[in-house]
């Protein structure tokens, strides 16, 4: 069983959003801004690659939304400073995590489920069973 690229991308986006949310409150504003810039640039590139190579419209929409959030976060990390930068990086991180979780939920709802069914067969007679176990065909 292979992992879906959509699942991997969304899981990485959730982790990146959580990382940015924690780091925006743990580090100073300039450090949080540069971390926001780096993570947002990676999210933008990965989201645009997902849009370019995705086949279904729902996948393109989810990746496009994350790419737009990455673009906005990238621009905000370069334009703002101080307390505004800290809170914008935090808010953008939460938005990225929520959008990625929403896309993960959409992925799970659209995935085809495997249905297992029981096949009922009539019981074999003891004579047939012993003949088959000895290798003799009846």
Cα 17 off chain centre by: 12
Read off the pLDDT of residues 67-126 as tens digits, 9 standing for 90 and up: 898 899 889 888 888 899 999 999 999 999 999 888 888 777 765 544 445 566 777 766
Distance CA 62, CA 105 (A): 11
Share of the chain above pLDDT 70, in %: 79
Mean of all residue pLDDT scores within the chain: 81
Best CA proximity match to 5, nearest among 84, 59, 73: 59
42 pLDDT higher than 70:
yes
22 pLDDT higher than 90:
yes
Global pTM?
Answer: 0.71
């Amino acid at each position: 069983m292979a992992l879906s690229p959509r699942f991997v991308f969304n899981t990485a986006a959730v982790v990146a959003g959580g990382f940015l949310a924690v780091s925006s409150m743990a580090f100073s504003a300039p450090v949080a801004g540069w971390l926001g810039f780096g993570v947002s640039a990676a999210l933008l590139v990965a989201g645009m690659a997902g849009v370019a190579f995705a086949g279904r419209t729902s996948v393109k929409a989810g990746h496009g939304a994350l790419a737009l959030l990455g673009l906005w976060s990238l621009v905000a990390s370069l334009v703002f400073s101080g307390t505004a930068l800290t809170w914008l990086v935090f808010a953008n991180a939460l938005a990225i995590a929520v959008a990625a979780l929403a896309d993960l939920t959409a992925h799970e709802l659209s995935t085809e489920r495997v249905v297992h069914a029981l096949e009922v067969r009539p019981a074999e007679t003891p004579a047939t069973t012993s003949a088959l176990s000895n290798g003799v065909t009846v």
